[in-house]
Amino acid sequence: MSIPYLKKEHDMTRLYVKDKPFYARSGEIHNSSSSSLEYMEERVWPALRQLHVNCVVAPIYWECVEPEEGVFDFTLIDGLVEQARREQMHLVLLWFGLWKNSASTYVPDWVKHDQKRFFLVRSAAGQSLGYMGGRMRIISPLCQEAVQADARAYRAVMRHIREIDEAESTIITMQVENEIGVLGSARDHSAYADQEFVKEIPAAVAERFGVSGSWAEAFGEDADEQFMAWHYGQAVETIAAAGKEEYPIPMYVNAWLEQYPWNPGSYPSGGPQFKMYDMWRLAASSIDFVSPDIYVDHYRDVCDEYASKGNPLFIPEVRQNGDAIPFYFYAVGRHNAICFAPFGIEDMAGAAKALDAQLLAQLNIAPTALQTDASAGRALATAYELVENMEELVQRAHEEGRIYGFLEYHDKGTTIKLPHFNVKISYGMGGFGPFQPPKQPGEPVSGGFLIQLSDWEFVIVGSRIRVGIEAKEGSRKVAEIERKEEGRYVDGVWKRGRILNGDEASSDTTIGAMPEALYFRVFEYEA
């Protein structure tokens, strides 16, 4: 049996686990949760059992793996794997090595204490950088001593994972570092970085981008960011390549996205934001894909970007509030996402306290993004179960172009044009088009996906939407719903609930905050 791998089929990239396509209905746990196996037992796994996840995104930490240089301790990794197998779940492991949210907070003490050997990113004024009042400093990606030390540790981790997990494939992908880039400056101004910045750009960069000269001459106002993207990418390449020599399962990097005020350094400069995609693919060829951590409002645009250029959509972090459910439906319906993972997933079952406002401000995350309650957890579990039971149908629909994802973003609805009729979807639950009441502050967005089953039949899955049928433009005929059913798929077979007739037989219908699936059969007649 093969180890986990990626395979391109029908113009889509799929993740295979035990030689079968696997879609991670997942969640990322809080940063410190997996540092204690006892905490996982008492607080996390009981919460996850309620949420219908099949995979957990969990950090592992360089400081725990190599507490003394050259001395390795895999106790936490072994425990996580054992617990996940017992829970019949898979793992995506996050390597918190040299960088986490830009800063070097998870390096071992022997690295933190030796700033001569492991030199820091500096501002133009010569100061060390980092958020949270500068307390979280950034080791420079140009520091080869640091990169090589990280690579040795990561190699040891991947060798150990192969030894304990190659036959089981509990661990299906690895994230190398976390939200890489420079905060507080557009680039590193350490002495070595300044020397490299004025040199001729590498030949591979010149050939790929058709430019020449120094970084400033080649890239102009984007030079700082491109320079950092190349060096972070090269550092990650060294680390990831070392790991893949031991155990070549899929590996990726994740991005803290561009945000207001939109200048490099207000978000991690040189990270794998999509505008840096080409540089990252050049610099880090051992990385299989790049992934967005999505806390911004323009979720739809981010998904569309990161699902282009042959890059599969894999979402390792997303806001955990009520938006998560329509976000999930859009990722599945529009882009056949191979992973979806709300952050702080244990919160969605009431197991842990959400991040405080001060930290969220430092991370440039709106407080509403991580405001959740038990109802959001129930909704996520319902959404995951709905999609799991129609997974084969979803995959066939993607292969045949019969699935349509939709999501609210500064609009009131959308029209899906099918061959014989149109499906009109309005966002919210109070009316169509201009007659919709205004959304309330904090009210989740609307979204879902539609699958056409035959010329006159379809099923729609979503939340907070109204659905109507209309004839094709210019037609003299009237299109109406002939039959409408509540229900759900069970092992790929539609199991209907109520037939919605009588007072429930109007030509439009509503899906509320709790995700649902509805079946429709349409007919038309002369007006």
Arithmetic mean of pLDDT, 484-494: 94
Least confident of 155-159, 177-181, 248-252, 482-486: 482-486
Residue with tokens 């910045």: 197
The number of residues in the chain equals: 527
Least confident of 163-167, 428-432, 459-463: 428-432
Please give the DSSP secondary-structure letter assigned to residue 275. G
Residue 131 has pLDDT above 80, yes or no: no
Residue 65 has pLDDT above 60, yes or no: yes
Residues 116, 138: Cα–Cα separation, whole Å: 13
Residues 455, 271: Cα–Cα separation, whole Å: 46
The pLDDT value recorded for residue 392 is: 96
Can you read off the two tokens belonging to residue 89? 């779940």
The pLDDT value recorded for residue 376 is: 86
The pLDDT value recorded for residue 201 is: 98
The pLDDT value recorded for residue 527 is: 74
pLDDT tens digits for 301-311? 999 999 999 99
298-337 burial, b at 16+ Cβ within 10 Å, e below that, comes to ebbebbebbbeeebbbbbbbbbbbbbbbbbbbbbbbbbbb
Residue 359 has pLDDT above 60, yes or no: no
Residue 437 has pLDDT above 90, yes or no: no
Arithmetic mean of pLDDT, 31-46: 97
Q: How confident is the prediction for the chain on average, in pLDDT?
A: 92
Arithmetic mean of pLDDT, 165-189: 97
Cis omega before residue 261 (within 30°)? yes
The pLDDT value recorded for residue 366 is: 62
Dihedrals φ, ψ of 117, to 5°?
Answer: -75, -40
> 451, 394 in Cβ contact below 8 A?
yes
Arithmetic mean of pLDDT, 474-482: 88
Residues 288, 227: Cα–Cα separation, whole Å: 21
pTM attached to this predicted model: 0.94
Residue 355 has pLDDT above 60, yes or no: no
The better pLDDT of the pair 431, 99 is held by: 99
Arithmetic mean of pLDDT, 500-527: 85
Q: Which helix (H) or strand (E) holds 462?
A: strand 457-463
Residue 24 confidence class, pLDDT cut points 50, 70, 90: very high
Residues 332, 338: Cα–Cα separation, whole Å: 8
The pLDDT value recorded for residue 364 is: 63
Arithmetic mean of pLDDT, 209-234: 98
The pLDDT value recorded for residue 156 is: 98
Arithmetic mean of pLDDT, 43-53: 96
Widest distance between CA atoms in the chain: 83
Please give the DSSP secondary-structure letter assigned to residue 169. -
Q: Give the ranges where 210-352 is alpha helix by DSSP (H).
A: 215-219, 223-246, 277-283, 299-306, 324-335
The pLDDT value recorded for residue 509 is: 82
Task: Kindly list the structural domains of the chain, giving each domain's residue range(s) and its CATH number in brackets, ordered by start.
Answer: 22-196+222-396 (3.20.20.80), 401-526 (2.60.220.20)
Can you read off the two tokens belonging to residue 255? 């991005």
Class of residue 106 by CB neighbours under 10 A (exposed 0-12, middle 13-18, buried 19+): buried
Under the phi-then-psi rule, with left for phi > 0, alpha for psi from -120 to 50, and beta for the rest, what region is 99?
beta
The pLDDT value recorded for residue 362 is: 58
The pLDDT value recorded for residue 26 is: 98
pLDDT tens digits for 137-174? 999 999 999 999 999 999 999 999 999 999 999 999 99
Residues 226, 279: Cα–Cα separation, whole Å: 7
The pLDDT value recorded for residue 1 is: 77
The pLDDT value recorded for residue 372 is: 65
Distances (CA, A) of 448 to 2, 329, 366, 511: 34, 5, 24, 10
Please give the DSSP secondary-structure letter assigned to residue 139. B
Q: Which amino acid is it at 100?
A: K
The pLDDT value recorded for residue 240 is: 98
% of the chain beyond a pLDDT of 90: 83
Distances (CA, A) of 277 to 3, 139, 282: 27, 23, 9
Residue with tokens 């959001």: 376
Residue 507 has pLDDT above 70, yes or no: no
Distances (CA, A) of 161 to 77, 268, 462: 8, 30, 38
Residue 504 confidence class, pLDDT cut points 50, 70, 90: confident
Compute CA 144 distance to the chain's CA centroid, rounded to the nearest angstrom.
30
Class of residue 447 by CB neighbours under 10 A (exposed 0-12, middle 13-18, buried 19+): buried
Provide the 3-class DSSP secondary structure of residue 395.
Answer: helix
The pLDDT value recorded for residue 130 is: 65
Residue 221 has pLDDT above 90, yes or no: yes
